[in-house]
Structure 1
């Protein structure tokens, strides 16, 4: 099975690791080596991000935590969990995929989050850990979710 190559991703610096074969998607890596999947176009929807997959130790728990932060409906699918319908997603789904032994994996991503308010304490009360506070050189806070995924937050 093959479709048009994801040239827009390759021209942005991604490299194709695997073309569609048994599974109908491409596997690519970004310039920092983070692996992601891209599907060829199969209908009349415009090209774009379909889903974001987060590898984690406890998919159900982490999906519920991010569901409280980002909104949307959380659904369990076996060992995975899915958030859909968040008004803040530029994609259709955020999938939390449970992976045993993930604690030893070093290639984690760091997200950038823009908050609608000026209060970091709601995220802290929900279980975020403060890794660094905003300062004169950087207006962002560096927090982590309950599994240690780091994310920058800019508060208004």
Structure 2
């Protein structure tokens, strides 16, 4: 039995409107403007609920590297559509088969060329998490949300995690430790009433659930923040 299931993503933004409009166009996702100035990108028709992305306004600007991002599959030969929508080109394909781009907030992400076989179900196909120890962190999250871990020479990935809406959750090794709060984080829905099993597995409590906050804020063994919600 798993401890939780994947729920959705949350994205910090200094300019919620610009960030939400960009990702609306990049993902083809319906945009819902929320009270208080935040926004939500709902899954496209027929897509899993876990594709929802909450865009939350924060006062602090982006600093540090982008350690969590989505990888997109283009439906045209190059990323000109993303550039028109507001992305910035960081690097052309070289030894790696993707374009490195940055969204309006400066968060880098990858755009891959179209598939030569049957197109996939949507633009986003992977959630990527940079980390120091990819196999260990992938194994830790698979123990939390289920799924199968596979490894290659550099990376580790999870497929089939409960509630996870994309093809795979990729863990990519980087030499530097995490030093600042991630601008993109994921939420999970607990299978039990309390996050005790998460803490026993090695998570760290950052903020307790209380009358003002309806969820717990925790960090995984590499310090990646995530929110844990009680069962529905």
Aligned to 2:64: none
SS at match of 1:62: helix
1:35 is the counterpart of 2:116: no
Q: Which residue of 1 aligns with 2:180?
A: 106
How many residues matched? Answer: 153
Gaps of 5+ in 1: none
- Distance, in Å, in 2 between the alignment partners of 1:107 and 1:134 is 19
Q: Tell me the distance in 2 between the aligned counterparts of 1:80 and 1:150.
A: 21
Q: CA, structure 1 residues 7+149, in 2 after alignment: closer, same or farther (shift >3 Å)?
A: same
Q: So what's the TM-score if we normalise by structure 1?
A: 0.81
Per the alignment, in what secondary structure is the counterpart of residue 100 of structure 2?
Answer: strand
d(CA) in 1 for partners of 2:83 and 2:138?
27
Is the partner of 1:50 in helix, strand or coil? strand
Cα distance in structure 1, aligned partners of 2:202 and 2:135:
15
Between 110-119 and 136-145, the greater mean CA deviation after superposition: 110-119
In structure 2, do the counterparts of structure 1 residues 10 and 88 end up closer, same or farther at CA, with 3 Å as the change threshold? Answer: farther
Uncovered stretches (5+) of structure 2, i.e. residues with no partner: 1-75
Is residue 24 from structure 1 mapped to residue 101 from structure 2 by the alignment? no
Q: Which has the higher contact order (CA 8 A, sep 6+)?
A: 2
TM-score between the two structures when normalised by the length of structure 2:
0.57
| CA deviation vs aligned residue, 1:58-108 (integer Å, no higher than 9, x gap) | 1111110011112111122123211112232211111111111224x5363
Supply the RMSD in Å over aligned alpha carbons: 2.5
Contact 1:80/1:96 (CA < 8 Å) preserved in 2?
A: yes
